[in-house]
Every structure is written in C-alpha cells, then in structure tokens.
Amino acid sequence: MPTTDDNKFSISWGSLWKAFFMLLIVAGAFVAMDILLALLAAVILSAGLNPVVSYMERWRLPRVVGTLLIFILAIAIFATLLYAVIPIAIVEFASLFDHLGEIAGGVFGARDGAQIVDVVNRYLDQLSGVLAAGSTSLVAVASNFIGGIVTTLTVIVITFYLTVSRDGVERFIQAVLPLEYEDRVLNIVARANVKIGYWLQTQIFLSLMVGIAVYLGLWLLGVNYALFLGILAALLEIIPFVGPIFAGSIAVLVALADSPTLALYTLLIFVVIQQMESQLVVPVVMRRAIGVHPVVILMSLLLGAKLAGFLGLIIAVPIAVILQEFLDDWSLRKMRAGKRLV
C-alpha cells in the first residue's frame, strides 16, 4: 500500500513534468515569435475582411470571388499610393527637412532654430548609428529585407485562405484547443471576432476621413507640404490622443513659418476635425465597435510596439479586445457562481 510520502513524491513529479512542458511551450513560442505574430496578424485581418465577404456572399457572389476582389482592390490601392502619392509625399518630406532650419528660425528665432536643427541632426545621426550597428553587413540587411517580404507574403496567403474558408478561424481554434475548452473559447472568439472586424473597418474609415480632411483643409489654406501632413495625420490616427496632437503640432509649426494667421487657421482646422470625430463619429462608431477604453488602447499600442515592432502595433488593439472578452466572460462566470452560492 503506497504511503503518504509516495503520493507526495508522485504528485511533485507530475507537477515538475507539467512545468517542464509549459517551459518548452513558452520557449517554442519565443523562438517562433515572428511566425506566431504573422499568424495572429492574418487571423485579425481575416476577421476584418470576413463581414465584407459575407455581405458580398449574400448577393450571390462566391466567397472565393469576393475575397479575390477585395485583395485585388487592396493591391490596386497600394500600387496607386506607391506610384502616385508616396513619391510626392517623399519629395515634400525631403523639402520639409531641407527647409527645417528656415521653419524653426521663423518660429523660434534664428538662434533657437539653429539649436533645434542641431538637436534633430544629432538624433538622426544616433539613429543612423543604431541602424548601422544592427545591420553590420550587407548580408544582414538583405536577410532582414527578404525576411520582411516573406513574412508579409505569409500574412497575405494565410489571410486569404482563412477568409475564403467560411469558418477558417474557428477551424483553426478547434485544431489547436483541447476539447473541454473548445465551446467556451469559440464563444468568446466569436464575440471578439465581430468587434475586431468592426474596429478594423472603422479604423480604416477614420484614418481615411481624417487624412483627406486634413489634406483638403491645408491645401485650401495654402499650407506647404499638405499631402505629407495629410498622410501623417491618417497614419497617426490609430494612436488615441497622442497621434492627432502630434500631427496637428507639426502642421501648425509648418504654417507658423509662413505667418501666425495661417498657423491659427491650421490649428482651427485640426480642432474642427478632431471635434467632429470625437463628438460625432467615435462615440457612435468606435466605442460601439470594441468597448475598450481609449487609455487601454493607447497602452496596448505602446506595449505592442515595444515588444513586436510594427506587427505588434497592428495586433495590439485586437489582442486587447480579446483579453477584454475573456475578462468579461470570467467576471460573468464568477458572478453566476456567487449567485448560486447565495
């Protein structure tokens, strides 16, 4: 008959084996971090595309055809940006950088403006040094570039197959989860899936709306580098609070180099756009989309960018939404358990 000590010994060994396998899983996830991030990004993009494809499917358009049309449209838009818009924006950015001394001198005075330019150049030199240290050879640079292309293509291919399959994300979850957790996790993911898709569509809409409004407003005022500033405002729209303030500050400084009146009108345009967005669009659309506080979104973006760079920035908010759904589910189960005890 086994003694109590034997039972304790067997239990402790079982715990050690579980801990060992958990460490193996964590180590494997750390080693394959890029693959996991690419897979997660594909799942998130598929969640955003799925409602659009399902809507097209209701109009008797095959799912494969609808997905192909969306991908072709996205590639066409991206190619148009590369061919027509981005070169102009790059020229404007280069011109803005070349005239940085004049702009800073006109705003802060010749002496302070020169100091600001020196600080900017010093930081750029440090950044160049860091990049050079991180890529010590042409082989390393080429390897990183090819790796980025392969990761991007992998995300596109996985996104396509997950979107074409009606329940692609659900089947993937069923394949990797234990049976006892399947129903619960699928229910949580289904709710999060709707919110993530709605968030992605809403974020694209908000970025386009703000970018176009900023460009048109600055162009009508005659502010220099209007296209570059509009693209910057669209890209920074994903960052709550900080992004619009940063984009508006740069535009006001550029306008201030011409005249205080132009800077005042530029500030007024940004205030009007942000007020319309925050008072009309965001309360109706974005809060309904995800139900996550903007401060949590901001912290998620900072953490995602810190841990995983650009991919982390993309998947930060969807991960926050999923975690919010898990917390809501846990709170609901805890509340129900408490009521049963009473």
Distance of alpha carbon 228 from alpha carbon 249, whole angstroms: 14
Tokens at 177, concatenated: 């989860």
Identify whether the C-beta of residue 44 lies closer than 8 Å to the C-beta of residue 196: yes
Q: What is the pLDDT of residue 13?
A: 56
Quick count: other Cβ atoms within 10 Å of Cβ 250? 17
Q: Output the pTM of the full model.
A: 0.64
Distance of alpha carbon 286 from alpha carbon 281, whole angstroms: 7
Half-sphere exposure of 155 (CA within 13 A, CB side): 19
Q: What is the pLDDT of residue 56?
A: 86
Please state the separation of Cα 258 from the chain's center in Å: 35
The tens place of each residue's pLDDT in the chain, 342 residues long, gives 455 554 444 455 556 566 666 666 666 656 566 777 777 788 778 877 887 888 888 888 888 888 899 899 888 887 877 776 667 667 666 666 665 555 555 555 545 545 555 655 565 555 555 455 554 555 665 666 677 777 788 888 888 888 887 776 677 777 777 777 777 888 887 787 777 777 777 888 888 889 999 999 999 999 888 888 888 889 888 777 778 888 888 888 888 777 888 888 999 999 998 888 777 666 666 655 666 676 777 788 788 777 777 667 777 878 888 888 888 878 887 777 766 555
Tokens at 231, concatenated: 């693209």
Q: What is the pLDDT of residue 76?
A: 86
Burial class (CB in 10 A: 0-12, 13-18, 19+), 45: buried
Tokens at 240, concatenated: 């709550």
Please state the separation of Cα 292 from the chain's center in Å: 15
* DSSP H helices in 59-178: 63-80, 86-98, 100-108, 110-134, 138-164, 168-176
